[in-house]
Structure 1
Amino acid sequence: MPKRIQFAQHGGPEVLEYVDFQPAAPGPNEVRVANHAIGLNFIDTYYRSGLYSPASLPSGLGAEGAGVVEAVGSAVSHLKVGDRVAYGTGPLGAYSEVHTLPAAHLVKLPDSISFELAASVMLKGLTVQYLLRQTYPLKGGETILFHAAAGGVGSIACQWAKALGVKLIGTVGSAAKAERAKALGAWATIDYSHEDVAARVLELTDGKKCPVVYDSIGKDTWETSLNCTAPRGLLVSFGNSSGPVSGVNLGVLAGKGSLYVTRPTLGSYADTPANLQAMADELFAMLASGQITVDINQRFALKDVAAAHTALSGRQTSGSTVLLP
Protein backbone atom coordinates (compact mmCIF):
# COMPACT_ATOMS: atom_id res chain seq x y z
CA MET A 1 0.00 0.00 0.00
CA PRO A 2 1.43 3.42 -0.91
CA LYS A 3 2.49 6.00 1.67
CA ARG A 4 1.60 9.64 2.09
CA ILE A 5 2.01 12.50 4.53
CA GLN A 6 -1.11 13.70 6.28
CA PHE A 7 -2.08 15.77 9.31
CA ALA A 8 -5.15 15.41 11.50
CA GLN A 9 -4.64 18.62 13.48
CA HIS A 10 -2.88 21.93 12.96
CA GLY A 11 0.47 22.60 14.58
CA GLY A 12 4.20 22.32 14.07
CA PRO A 13 6.11 19.79 11.98
CA GLU A 14 5.37 17.14 14.59
CA VAL A 15 1.72 16.86 13.39
CA LEU A 16 2.86 15.43 10.04
CA GLU A 17 2.24 11.69 9.84
CA TYR A 18 3.73 9.16 7.40
CA VAL A 19 0.90 6.71 6.80
CA ASP A 20 -0.42 4.01 4.51
CA PHE A 21 -3.37 5.10 2.39
CA GLN A 22 -5.62 3.87 -0.36
CA PRO A 23 -5.27 6.20 -3.36
CA ALA A 24 -8.46 7.22 -5.09
CA ALA A 25 -9.23 5.77 -8.49
CA PRO A 26 -9.25 8.54 -11.08
CA GLY A 27 -12.63 10.06 -11.85
CA PRO A 28 -13.59 10.66 -15.48
CA ASN A 29 -11.47 13.83 -15.73
CA GLU A 30 -8.68 12.82 -13.36
CA VAL A 31 -5.26 11.20 -13.55
CA ARG A 32 -3.26 9.26 -10.96
CA VAL A 33 0.43 10.07 -10.93
CA ALA A 34 3.27 8.06 -9.39
CA ASN A 35 5.39 10.87 -7.97
CA HIS A 36 9.14 10.82 -8.57
CA ALA A 37 9.78 14.17 -6.88
CA ILE A 38 7.70 16.59 -4.82
CA GLY A 39 8.15 20.32 -4.37
CA LEU A 40 8.43 21.96 -0.95
CA ASN A 41 6.98 25.47 -0.66
CA PHE A 42 6.56 27.83 2.28
CA ILE A 43 2.81 27.93 1.70
CA ASP A 44 2.77 24.26 2.78
CA THR A 45 3.64 25.37 6.32
CA TYR A 46 0.62 27.70 6.31
CA TYR A 47 -1.76 24.80 5.68
CA ARG A 48 0.00 22.70 8.33
CA SER A 49 -0.08 25.47 10.97
CA GLY A 50 -3.68 26.48 10.31
CA LEU A 51 -3.02 29.91 8.80
CA TYR A 52 -4.70 28.48 5.71
CA SER A 53 -7.33 25.79 6.16
CA PRO A 54 -7.72 22.67 4.03
CA ALA A 55 -11.23 21.54 3.15
CA SER A 56 -11.25 18.93 5.90
CA LEU A 57 -9.01 17.00 8.29
CA PRO A 58 -7.19 14.68 8.10
CA SER A 59 -5.66 16.25 5.01
CA GLY A 60 -2.83 15.62 2.63
CA LEU A 61 -0.30 18.36 1.99
CA GLY A 62 1.66 19.84 -0.90
CA ALA A 63 0.57 21.02 -4.34
CA GLU A 64 3.61 20.52 -6.58
CA GLY A 65 5.26 17.46 -8.02
CA ALA A 66 6.37 15.47 -11.03
CA GLY A 67 6.17 11.84 -12.03
CA VAL A 68 4.64 9.31 -14.39
CA VAL A 69 0.96 8.76 -15.20
CA GLU A 70 -0.18 5.37 -13.92
CA ALA A 71 -3.95 5.62 -14.49
CA VAL A 72 -6.30 7.93 -16.40
CA GLY A 73 -10.00 8.67 -16.20
CA SER A 74 -12.43 7.73 -18.94
CA ALA A 75 -12.80 11.30 -20.26
CA VAL A 76 -9.06 12.10 -20.40
CA SER A 77 -7.70 12.13 -23.94
CA HIS A 78 -4.55 14.28 -23.84
CA LEU A 79 -2.65 12.07 -21.38
CA LYS A 80 -1.90 8.36 -21.28
CA VAL A 81 -0.31 5.85 -18.94
CA GLY A 82 3.46 6.26 -18.99
CA ASP A 83 3.52 9.98 -19.79
CA ARG A 84 6.02 12.12 -17.88
CA VAL A 85 4.05 14.94 -16.23
CA ALA A 86 4.36 17.77 -13.72
CA TYR A 87 1.94 19.93 -11.75
CA GLY A 88 2.08 22.97 -9.50
CA THR A 89 -1.46 24.01 -8.64
CA GLY A 90 -2.71 21.19 -6.45
CA PRO A 91 -5.04 20.00 -5.10
CA LEU A 92 -3.42 19.25 -1.73
CA GLY A 93 -1.93 15.80 -1.47
CA ALA A 94 1.33 15.97 -3.42
CA TYR A 95 3.30 14.75 -0.38
CA SER A 96 2.57 11.21 -1.44
CA GLU A 97 3.94 8.29 -3.40
CA VAL A 98 0.91 8.59 -5.71
CA HIS A 99 -1.46 11.51 -6.22
CA THR A 100 -4.84 11.67 -7.96
CA LEU A 101 -5.67 15.07 -9.40
CA PRO A 102 -7.57 16.79 -12.24
CA ALA A 103 -6.00 16.15 -15.63
CA ALA A 104 -6.41 19.87 -16.36
CA HIS A 105 -3.73 20.62 -13.71
CA LEU A 106 -1.06 18.50 -15.39
CA VAL A 107 1.45 19.38 -18.09
CA LYS A 108 3.52 17.06 -20.20
CA LEU A 109 7.16 17.09 -19.17
CA PRO A 110 9.85 16.97 -21.88
CA ASP A 111 12.72 14.53 -21.50
CA SER A 112 15.12 17.48 -21.17
CA ILE A 113 13.63 18.42 -17.77
CA SER A 114 14.24 16.08 -14.81
CA PHE A 115 11.51 15.19 -12.34
CA GLU A 116 13.40 16.94 -9.54
CA LEU A 117 13.82 20.13 -11.54
CA ALA A 118 10.16 20.18 -12.55
CA ALA A 119 8.98 19.56 -8.99
CA SER A 120 11.14 22.40 -7.71
CA VAL A 121 10.14 25.01 -10.27
CA MET A 122 6.54 24.60 -11.45
CA LEU A 123 4.82 26.94 -9.00
CA LYS A 124 7.52 29.59 -8.85
CA GLY A 125 8.43 29.41 -12.54
CA LEU A 126 4.85 29.62 -13.78
CA THR A 127 4.31 32.57 -11.45
CA VAL A 128 7.22 34.41 -13.07
CA GLN A 129 5.93 33.48 -16.52
CA TYR A 130 2.54 35.10 -16.01
CA LEU A 131 4.01 38.12 -14.20
CA LEU A 132 6.65 39.03 -16.78
CA ARG A 133 5.03 37.67 -19.92
CA GLN A 134 1.30 38.27 -19.38
CA THR A 135 0.33 40.59 -16.51
CA TYR A 136 2.73 43.20 -17.90
CA PRO A 137 4.23 41.79 -21.11
CA LEU A 138 7.82 42.98 -21.01
CA LYS A 139 9.34 43.82 -24.38
CA GLY A 140 12.94 44.55 -23.35
CA GLY A 141 14.54 47.81 -22.34
CA GLU A 142 12.24 48.51 -19.40
CA THR A 143 13.52 49.24 -15.90
CA ILE A 144 11.34 47.41 -13.37
CA LEU A 145 11.21 46.93 -9.59
CA PHE A 146 10.89 43.44 -8.11
CA HIS A 147 10.62 42.98 -4.35
CA ALA A 148 12.32 40.03 -2.60
CA ALA A 149 14.62 39.52 -5.57
CA ALA A 150 16.73 36.85 -3.88
CA GLY A 151 13.74 34.69 -2.91
CA GLY A 152 12.37 31.68 -4.73
CA VAL A 153 10.23 33.62 -7.21
CA GLY A 154 12.60 36.57 -7.34
CA SER A 155 15.63 34.46 -8.21
CA ILE A 156 13.84 33.17 -11.30
CA ALA A 157 12.54 36.65 -12.15
CA CYS A 158 16.09 38.07 -12.09
CA GLN A 159 17.22 35.52 -14.67
CA TRP A 160 14.14 35.80 -16.87
CA ALA A 161 14.26 39.61 -16.87
CA LYS A 162 17.91 39.57 -17.91
CA ALA A 163 17.14 37.15 -20.74
CA LEU A 164 14.44 39.55 -21.95
CA GLY A 165 16.82 42.52 -21.89
CA VAL A 166 15.03 44.12 -18.95
CA LYS A 167 16.78 46.06 -16.19
CA LEU A 168 15.49 44.56 -12.93
CA ILE A 169 15.97 46.53 -9.72
CA GLY A 170 15.63 44.04 -6.89
CA THR A 171 14.91 44.80 -3.25
CA VAL A 172 16.75 42.60 -0.73
CA GLY A 173 17.28 42.47 3.01
CA SER A 174 21.03 41.92 3.28
CA ALA A 175 24.33 42.32 1.49
CA ALA A 176 24.49 38.58 0.88
CA LYS A 177 21.08 38.61 -0.78
CA ALA A 178 22.09 41.61 -2.88
CA GLU A 179 25.11 39.69 -4.10
CA ARG A 180 22.94 36.69 -4.95
CA ALA A 181 20.37 38.77 -6.86
CA LYS A 182 23.09 40.46 -8.90
CA ALA A 183 24.71 37.12 -9.68
CA LEU A 184 21.34 35.93 -10.99
CA GLY A 185 20.93 38.89 -13.31
CA ALA A 186 19.52 41.82 -11.35
CA TRP A 187 20.65 45.12 -12.90
CA ALA A 188 20.70 46.83 -9.50
CA THR A 189 19.70 46.03 -5.92
CA ILE A 190 18.35 48.06 -3.02
CA ASP A 191 18.93 46.83 0.53
CA TYR A 192 15.81 47.96 2.37
CA SER A 193 17.48 47.30 5.73
CA HIS A 194 19.33 50.58 5.37
CA GLU A 195 18.33 52.20 2.06
CA ASP A 196 15.24 54.24 1.15
CA VAL A 197 13.73 52.17 -1.64
CA ALA A 198 11.67 54.92 -3.27
CA ALA A 199 14.55 57.41 -3.17
CA ARG A 200 16.95 54.90 -4.72
CA VAL A 201 14.46 54.04 -7.47
CA LEU A 202 14.25 57.73 -8.35
CA GLU A 203 18.05 57.88 -8.57
CA LEU A 204 18.38 54.71 -10.61
CA THR A 205 15.67 55.76 -13.09
CA ASP A 206 16.69 59.43 -13.40
CA GLY A 207 13.42 60.42 -11.75
CA LYS A 208 11.18 58.43 -14.11
CA LYS A 209 10.27 55.61 -11.67
CA CYS A 210 9.24 52.19 -13.01
CA PRO A 211 6.47 51.33 -15.49
CA VAL A 212 5.74 48.19 -13.48
CA VAL A 213 6.44 47.18 -9.88
CA TYR A 214 6.09 43.56 -8.71
CA ASP A 215 5.27 43.24 -5.01
CA SER A 216 4.86 39.92 -3.17
CA ILE A 217 5.33 41.43 0.28
CA GLY A 218 2.01 43.23 0.64
CA LYS A 219 1.13 45.44 3.58
CA ASP A 220 4.65 46.58 4.53
CA THR A 221 5.65 47.67 1.01
CA TRP A 222 2.34 48.94 -0.40
CA GLU A 223 3.07 52.65 -0.01
CA THR A 224 6.67 52.24 -1.12
CA SER A 225 5.61 50.35 -4.23
CA LEU A 226 3.10 53.06 -5.16
CA ASN A 227 5.85 55.65 -4.77
CA CYS A 228 8.08 53.69 -7.16
CA THR A 229 5.47 53.34 -9.92
CA ALA A 230 5.63 55.76 -12.84
CA PRO A 231 2.54 57.79 -13.85
CA ARG A 232 0.04 55.48 -15.58
CA GLY A 233 2.23 52.57 -14.50
CA LEU A 234 1.13 49.25 -13.03
CA LEU A 235 1.61 47.94 -9.50
CA VAL A 236 1.33 44.14 -9.48
CA SER A 237 0.54 42.99 -5.93
CA PHE A 238 0.87 39.20 -6.16
CA GLY A 239 1.57 38.16 -2.57
CA ASN A 240 1.21 39.14 1.06
CA SER A 241 4.12 37.75 3.05
CA SER A 242 3.88 40.72 5.45
CA GLY A 243 0.08 40.65 5.57
CA PRO A 244 -2.69 41.57 3.12
CA VAL A 245 -3.17 45.06 1.73
CA SER A 246 -6.45 46.47 3.03
CA GLY A 247 -8.26 49.79 3.37
CA VAL A 248 -7.11 50.99 -0.03
CA ASN A 249 -8.03 54.58 -0.91
CA LEU A 250 -8.46 54.67 -4.68
CA GLY A 251 -7.90 58.41 -4.63
CA VAL A 252 -4.24 57.73 -3.88
CA LEU A 253 -3.89 56.18 -7.34
CA ALA A 254 -5.07 59.42 -8.90
CA GLY A 255 -2.76 61.54 -6.78
CA LYS A 256 0.29 59.48 -7.72
CA GLY A 257 -0.27 59.70 -11.46
CA SER A 258 -3.34 57.67 -12.51
CA LEU A 259 -1.77 54.39 -11.46
CA TYR A 260 -3.10 50.93 -12.20
CA VAL A 261 -3.14 48.13 -9.60
CA THR A 262 -3.82 44.42 -10.07
CA ARG A 263 -3.92 41.44 -7.70
CA PRO A 264 -3.34 38.44 -10.00
CA THR A 265 -3.18 34.72 -9.27
CA LEU A 266 -1.67 31.86 -11.21
CA GLY A 267 -5.05 30.19 -11.54
CA SER A 268 -6.50 33.12 -13.46
CA TYR A 269 -3.81 32.74 -16.13
CA ALA A 270 -3.44 28.96 -16.20
CA ASP A 271 -7.21 28.71 -16.57
CA THR A 272 -7.33 26.09 -19.33
CA PRO A 273 -5.15 23.06 -20.06
CA ALA A 274 -3.93 24.73 -23.25
CA ASN A 275 -2.93 27.93 -21.46
CA LEU A 276 -1.21 25.98 -18.68
CA GLN A 277 0.76 23.85 -21.15
CA ALA A 278 1.79 26.89 -23.19
CA MET A 279 3.07 28.64 -20.05
CA ALA A 280 4.92 25.52 -18.94
CA ASP A 281 6.44 25.01 -22.40
CA GLU A 282 7.92 28.52 -22.29
CA LEU A 283 9.29 27.86 -18.80
CA PHE A 284 10.76 24.51 -19.85
CA ALA A 285 12.41 26.13 -22.88
CA MET A 286 14.06 28.74 -20.64
CA LEU A 287 15.34 25.96 -18.38
CA ALA A 288 16.53 23.74 -21.22
CA SER A 289 18.43 26.64 -22.81
CA GLY A 290 20.20 27.43 -19.55
CA GLN A 291 18.82 30.98 -19.43
CA ILE A 292 17.21 30.01 -16.13
CA THR A 293 18.88 27.68 -13.64
CA VAL A 294 17.51 26.43 -10.33
CA ASP A 295 19.67 25.19 -7.49
CA ILE A 296 18.20 22.18 -5.69
CA ASN A 297 20.23 22.40 -2.52
CA GLN A 298 18.21 20.11 -0.25
CA ARG A 299 16.70 16.68 -0.79
CA PHE A 300 14.70 14.90 1.91
CA ALA A 301 13.07 11.50 1.88
CA LEU A 302 9.29 11.84 2.00
CA LYS A 303 9.21 10.16 5.41
CA ASP A 304 11.54 12.88 6.75
CA VAL A 305 9.21 15.73 5.82
CA ALA A 306 9.06 17.03 9.42
CA ALA A 307 12.80 17.71 9.26
CA ALA A 308 12.31 19.44 5.91
CA HIS A 309 9.62 21.72 7.38
CA THR A 310 11.81 22.48 10.39
CA ALA A 311 14.70 23.48 8.13
CA LEU A 312 12.44 25.58 5.90
CA SER A 313 10.80 27.47 8.76
CA GLY A 314 14.16 27.95 10.45
CA ARG A 315 15.63 29.57 7.33
CA GLN A 316 18.19 26.78 7.12
CA THR A 317 17.56 26.10 3.43
CA SER A 318 18.79 27.81 0.29
CA GLY A 319 17.62 27.50 -3.27
CA SER A 320 14.96 24.83 -3.77
CA THR A 321 14.08 21.76 -1.73
CA VAL A 322 12.48 18.55 -2.99
CA LEU A 323 10.99 15.51 -1.28
CA LEU A 324 11.73 12.09 -2.72
CA PRO A 325 9.20 9.24 -2.29
Structure 2
Amino acid sequence: MKSRNQTSVPEFLLLALTDDPEMQPILFSLFLSIYLVTVLGNLLFMLAVTTTSHLQTPMYFFLANLSFTDICISTTTIPKMLVSLQAQNQSITYAGCLTQVYFVLVFCALESVLLLIMAYDRYVAICHPLRYTTIMNPHFCCLLILFSLLNTLVNALLHTLMLLRLSFCTNLEIPYFFCEVVQVVKVACSDTLINNIIIYFGVGIQGAVPFCGIFFSYTKIVSSVLGMPSAGGKYKAFSTCGSHLSVLSLFYGTALGAYFSSTFTRSARETAVTSIMYTVVTPMMNPFIYSLRNRDIKGALRNIIRGIPASQ
Protein backbone atom coordinates (compact mmCIF):
# COMPACT_ATOMS: atom_id res chain seq x y z
CA MET A 1 0.00 0.00 0.00
CA LYS A 2 1.38 3.34 -0.98
CA SER A 3 2.13 5.61 1.96
CA ARG A 4 0.88 9.13 2.30
CA ASN A 5 2.85 12.08 3.56
CA GLN A 6 2.03 13.18 7.11
CA THR A 7 0.52 16.47 5.89
CA SER A 8 -2.30 14.49 4.23
CA VAL A 9 -3.09 12.33 7.26
CA PRO A 10 -6.57 13.41 8.39
CA GLU A 11 -6.77 11.77 11.81
CA PHE A 12 -5.78 8.97 14.16
CA LEU A 13 -8.23 6.64 15.88
CA LEU A 14 -7.79 6.16 19.60
CA LEU A 15 -8.93 3.03 21.40
CA ALA A 16 -12.54 3.01 22.54
CA LEU A 17 -12.76 2.08 26.21
CA THR A 18 -15.99 0.21 25.52
CA ASP A 19 -18.14 -0.75 22.56
CA ASP A 20 -21.26 -0.95 24.71
CA PRO A 21 -23.37 2.23 24.32
CA GLU A 22 -24.92 1.68 27.76
CA MET A 23 -21.47 1.69 29.40
CA GLN A 24 -20.34 4.97 27.86
CA PRO A 25 -22.36 7.28 30.19
CA ILE A 26 -21.08 5.30 33.17
CA LEU A 27 -17.47 5.59 32.04
CA PHE A 28 -17.99 9.28 31.26
CA SER A 29 -19.26 9.92 34.80
CA LEU A 30 -16.47 7.82 36.30
CA PHE A 31 -13.61 9.57 34.52
CA LEU A 32 -15.18 13.00 34.96
CA SER A 33 -15.33 12.31 38.71
CA ILE A 34 -11.72 11.11 38.71
CA TYR A 35 -10.61 14.24 36.86
CA LEU A 36 -12.45 16.57 39.22
CA VAL A 37 -11.07 14.75 42.28
CA THR A 38 -7.56 14.91 40.80
CA VAL A 39 -7.71 18.63 40.07
CA LEU A 40 -9.42 19.55 43.36
CA GLY A 41 -7.17 17.33 45.49
CA ASN A 42 -3.96 18.62 43.95
CA LEU A 43 -5.12 22.24 44.02
CA LEU A 44 -6.00 21.95 47.72
CA PHE A 45 -2.59 20.41 48.38
CA MET A 46 -0.85 23.28 46.54
CA LEU A 47 -2.98 25.84 48.40
CA ALA A 48 -2.14 24.26 51.75
CA VAL A 49 1.58 24.37 51.00
CA THR A 50 1.68 27.91 49.61
CA THR A 51 -0.46 29.49 52.36
CA THR A 52 1.04 27.79 55.43
CA SER A 53 4.22 29.37 56.74
CA HIS A 54 5.70 26.29 58.41
CA LEU A 55 5.28 24.31 55.17
CA GLN A 56 7.63 26.63 53.30
CA THR A 57 10.36 24.00 53.10
CA PRO A 58 12.09 22.31 50.14
CA MET A 59 10.20 19.05 50.63
CA TYR A 60 6.78 20.72 50.39
CA PHE A 61 7.99 22.99 47.59
CA PHE A 62 8.78 19.92 45.51
CA LEU A 63 5.49 18.30 46.52
CA ALA A 64 3.57 21.37 45.31
CA ASN A 65 5.36 21.10 41.96
CA LEU A 66 4.49 17.40 41.83
CA SER A 67 0.82 18.28 42.40
CA PHE A 68 0.94 20.83 39.58
CA THR A 69 2.50 18.20 37.30
CA ASP A 70 -0.22 15.70 38.22
CA ILE A 71 -2.91 18.21 37.25
CA CYS A 72 -1.18 18.77 33.91
CA ILE A 73 -0.88 15.03 33.17
CA SER A 74 -4.60 14.53 33.82
CA THR A 75 -5.58 17.61 31.81
CA THR A 76 -3.52 16.40 28.86
CA THR A 77 -5.30 13.04 28.65
CA ILE A 78 -8.69 12.89 30.40
CA PRO A 79 -10.63 15.78 28.75
CA LYS A 80 -10.04 14.35 25.26
CA MET A 81 -11.21 10.95 26.49
CA LEU A 82 -14.36 12.55 27.94
CA VAL A 83 -15.08 14.31 24.64
CA SER A 84 -14.63 11.02 22.77
CA LEU A 85 -16.99 9.20 25.14
CA GLN A 86 -19.61 11.93 24.88
CA ALA A 87 -19.44 12.21 21.10
CA GLN A 88 -18.86 8.46 20.60
CA ASN A 89 -16.04 9.41 18.25
CA GLN A 90 -12.49 8.21 18.90
CA SER A 91 -10.79 10.25 16.19
CA ILE A 92 -8.10 12.82 16.89
CA THR A 93 -6.50 15.12 14.34
CA TYR A 94 -2.86 14.79 13.32
CA ALA A 95 -1.99 18.13 14.97
CA GLY A 96 -3.99 17.23 18.07
CA CYS A 97 -2.21 13.90 18.35
CA LEU A 98 1.25 15.46 18.11
CA THR A 99 0.28 18.09 20.66
CA GLN A 100 -0.88 15.39 23.06
CA VAL A 101 2.33 13.41 22.49
CA TYR A 102 4.38 16.48 23.36
CA PHE A 103 2.62 17.33 26.62
CA VAL A 104 2.37 13.71 27.79
CA LEU A 105 6.14 13.42 27.30
CA VAL A 106 6.79 16.71 29.10
CA PHE A 107 4.75 16.04 32.22
CA CYS A 108 5.44 12.31 32.60
CA ALA A 109 9.17 12.95 32.31
CA LEU A 110 8.89 15.90 34.69
CA GLU A 111 7.15 13.68 37.25
CA SER A 112 10.00 11.18 37.02
CA VAL A 113 12.63 13.88 37.52
CA LEU A 114 10.69 15.43 40.41
CA LEU A 115 10.63 12.07 42.16
CA LEU A 116 14.43 11.95 41.78
CA ILE A 117 14.78 15.46 43.23
CA MET A 118 12.57 14.52 46.17
CA ALA A 119 14.69 11.42 46.80
CA TYR A 120 17.80 13.61 46.81
CA ASP A 121 16.08 16.00 49.22
CA ARG A 122 15.38 13.12 51.64
CA TYR A 123 18.97 11.92 51.23
CA VAL A 124 20.37 15.30 52.23
CA ALA A 125 17.87 15.66 55.12
CA ILE A 126 18.71 12.26 56.61
CA CYS A 127 22.37 11.77 55.72
CA HIS A 128 23.54 15.41 56.05
CA PRO A 129 21.04 17.07 58.44
CA LEU A 130 23.43 19.79 59.63
CA ARG A 131 24.07 20.95 56.07
CA TYR A 132 20.48 20.57 54.88
CA THR A 133 19.45 24.24 54.92
CA THR A 134 22.73 25.22 53.28
CA ILE A 135 22.52 22.68 50.47
CA MET A 136 18.77 22.83 49.83
CA ASN A 137 18.52 26.62 49.81
CA PRO A 138 15.64 28.31 47.92
CA HIS A 139 17.88 29.40 45.03
CA PHE A 140 19.16 25.86 44.47
CA CYS A 141 15.64 24.39 44.71
CA CYS A 142 14.31 26.79 42.07
CA LEU A 143 17.26 25.99 39.80
CA LEU A 144 16.53 22.28 40.12
CA ILE A 145 12.91 22.82 39.04
CA LEU A 146 13.84 25.13 36.15
CA PHE A 147 16.55 22.78 34.89
CA SER A 148 14.17 19.80 35.11
CA LEU A 149 11.46 21.67 33.19
CA LEU A 150 13.90 22.82 30.49
CA ASN A 151 15.28 19.31 30.14
CA THR A 152 11.85 17.73 29.72
CA LEU A 153 10.67 20.44 27.29
CA VAL A 154 13.68 19.89 25.02
CA ASN A 155 13.37 16.11 25.20
CA ALA A 156 9.66 16.20 24.32
CA LEU A 157 10.26 18.66 21.49
CA LEU A 158 12.90 16.38 19.97
CA HIS A 159 10.57 13.37 19.99
CA THR A 160 7.68 15.38 18.55
CA LEU A 161 9.76 16.90 15.76
CA MET A 162 11.04 13.45 14.85
CA LEU A 163 7.43 12.33 14.32
CA LEU A 164 7.09 14.96 11.58
CA ARG A 165 9.49 13.00 9.36
CA LEU A 166 7.28 9.90 9.38
CA SER A 167 4.68 8.93 6.81
CA PHE A 168 1.50 7.06 7.64
CA CYS A 169 -0.70 4.67 5.71
CA THR A 170 -4.35 3.93 6.42
CA ASN A 171 -3.91 1.81 9.58
CA LEU A 172 -3.93 4.63 12.12
CA GLU A 173 -5.49 2.89 15.12
CA ILE A 174 -3.63 3.57 18.39
CA PRO A 175 -4.28 1.04 21.20
CA TYR A 176 -4.29 3.78 23.88
CA PHE A 177 -6.93 6.27 24.87
CA PHE A 178 -4.38 9.02 24.22
CA CYS A 179 -1.55 9.59 21.73
CA GLU A 180 1.66 8.10 23.10
CA VAL A 181 4.91 8.45 21.17
CA VAL A 182 5.76 4.73 20.98
CA GLN A 183 2.29 3.83 19.74
CA VAL A 184 2.32 6.60 17.12
CA VAL A 185 5.68 5.40 15.82
CA LYS A 186 4.31 1.84 15.58
CA VAL A 187 1.54 2.84 13.15
CA ALA A 188 3.95 4.66 10.81
CA CYS A 189 4.63 2.99 7.46
CA SER A 190 8.01 4.63 6.85
CA ASP A 191 11.39 3.81 8.37
CA THR A 192 11.28 4.34 12.15
CA LEU A 193 14.80 3.24 13.11
CA ILE A 194 15.99 6.73 14.07
CA ASN A 195 12.80 7.39 16.02
CA ASN A 196 13.18 4.16 17.97
CA ILE A 197 16.83 4.92 18.78
CA ILE A 198 15.86 8.36 20.09
CA ILE A 199 12.96 6.86 22.07
CA TYR A 200 15.25 4.34 23.80
CA PHE A 201 17.80 7.07 24.46
CA GLY A 202 15.08 9.30 25.91
CA VAL A 203 13.77 6.51 28.11
CA GLY A 204 17.28 6.05 29.44
CA ILE A 205 17.74 9.74 30.21
CA GLN A 206 14.25 10.51 31.54
CA GLY A 207 13.42 7.14 33.10
CA ALA A 208 16.42 4.94 33.85
CA VAL A 209 18.72 7.72 35.10
CA PRO A 210 16.17 9.08 37.63
CA PHE A 211 15.37 5.52 38.74
CA CYS A 212 19.06 4.75 39.32
CA GLY A 213 19.49 8.06 41.15
CA ILE A 214 16.52 7.25 43.39
CA PHE A 215 17.89 3.77 44.08
CA PHE A 216 21.31 5.22 44.98
CA SER A 217 19.74 7.84 47.27
CA TYR A 218 17.71 5.26 49.16
CA THR A 219 20.69 2.94 49.45
CA LYS A 220 22.52 5.74 51.26
CA ILE A 221 19.43 6.57 53.33
CA VAL A 222 18.95 2.97 54.48
CA SER A 223 22.63 2.67 55.34
CA SER A 224 22.52 5.90 57.35
CA VAL A 225 19.28 5.02 59.17
CA LEU A 226 20.48 1.55 60.15
CA GLY A 227 23.50 3.19 61.73
CA MET A 228 21.35 5.34 64.03
CA PRO A 229 21.56 4.28 67.70
CA SER A 230 17.94 4.89 68.72
CA ALA A 231 14.86 3.06 67.45
CA GLY A 232 12.90 6.30 67.63
CA GLY A 233 15.35 8.04 65.32
CA LYS A 234 15.14 5.17 62.84
CA TYR A 235 11.34 5.26 62.85
CA LYS A 236 11.23 9.04 62.37
CA ALA A 237 13.71 8.88 59.49
CA PHE A 238 11.87 6.08 57.72
CA SER A 239 8.48 7.73 58.30
CA THR A 240 9.59 10.83 56.37
CA CYS A 241 10.27 8.58 53.36
CA GLY A 242 7.16 6.39 53.56
CA SER A 243 4.88 8.57 51.43
CA HIS A 244 7.57 9.17 48.85
CA LEU A 245 8.22 5.44 48.55
CA SER A 246 4.49 4.82 48.08
CA VAL A 247 4.31 7.37 45.25
CA LEU A 248 7.48 5.94 43.70
CA SER A 249 6.03 2.43 43.74
CA LEU A 250 2.75 3.62 42.24
CA PHE A 251 4.33 5.68 39.45
CA TYR A 252 7.11 3.33 38.37
CA GLY A 253 5.03 0.22 38.95
CA THR A 254 2.19 1.38 36.70
CA ALA A 255 4.56 2.90 34.09
CA LEU A 256 6.57 -0.33 33.84
CA GLY A 257 3.31 -2.28 33.74
CA ALA A 258 2.15 -0.20 30.78
CA TYR A 259 5.48 -0.71 29.00
CA PHE A 260 5.57 -4.49 29.44
CA SER A 261 1.88 -4.78 28.63
CA SER A 262 2.32 -2.98 25.30
CA THR A 263 5.43 -5.06 24.55
CA PHE A 264 4.28 -8.57 25.41
CA THR A 265 0.48 -8.61 25.25
CA ARG A 266 -1.66 -8.65 22.13
CA SER A 267 -4.70 -7.32 23.95
CA ALA A 268 -5.34 -3.64 23.27
CA ARG A 269 -7.74 -3.53 26.23
CA GLU A 270 -5.07 -4.68 28.68
CA THR A 271 -2.64 -2.11 27.29
CA ALA A 272 -5.28 0.61 27.69
CA VAL A 273 -5.99 -0.36 31.29
CA THR A 274 -2.31 -0.18 32.27
CA SER A 275 -1.92 3.19 30.52
CA ILE A 276 -4.89 4.49 32.51
CA MET A 277 -3.17 3.49 35.75
CA TYR A 278 -0.15 5.79 35.41
CA THR A 279 -1.83 8.70 33.62
CA VAL A 280 -5.17 8.77 35.49
CA VAL A 281 -5.01 6.87 38.77
CA THR A 282 -1.52 7.92 39.92
CA PRO A 283 -2.16 11.71 39.64
CA MET A 284 -5.40 11.26 41.60
CA MET A 285 -3.80 9.19 44.38
CA ASN A 286 -0.65 11.25 45.01
CA PRO A 287 -2.19 14.10 47.07
CA PHE A 288 -4.10 11.59 49.20
CA ILE A 289 -0.97 9.53 49.85
CA TYR A 290 0.92 12.59 51.11
CA SER A 291 -2.02 14.11 52.98
CA LEU A 292 -3.28 11.08 54.87
CA ARG A 293 0.12 10.36 56.40
CA ASN A 294 1.08 13.95 57.17
CA ARG A 295 -0.37 15.77 60.19
CA ASP A 296 0.92 19.17 59.03
CA ILE A 297 -0.87 18.86 55.68
CA LYS A 298 -4.07 17.61 57.30
CA GLY A 299 -3.99 20.54 59.73
CA ALA A 300 -3.43 23.05 56.93
CA LEU A 301 -6.29 21.54 54.91
CA ARG A 302 -8.64 21.71 57.89
CA ASN A 303 -7.78 25.38 58.34
CA ILE A 304 -8.48 26.07 54.67
CA ILE A 305 -11.83 24.27 54.78
CA ARG A 306 -12.82 26.14 57.96
CA GLY A 307 -11.77 29.46 56.42
CA ILE A 308 -9.00 30.03 58.97
CA PRO A 309 -5.82 31.69 57.61
CA ALA A 310 -3.40 28.77 57.16
CA SER A 311 -0.39 30.80 58.26
CA GLN A 312 -1.76 31.10 61.77
TM range (shorter): under 0.3
Max Rg structure: 2
Structure of greater relative contact order (alpha carbons < 8 Å, 6+ residues apart): 2
Q: Report which of the two has the higher share of strand.
A: 1
Q: Report which of the two has the higher share of helix.
A: 2
Structure 2-normalised TM-score? 0.24
Structure 1-normalised TM-score? 0.23
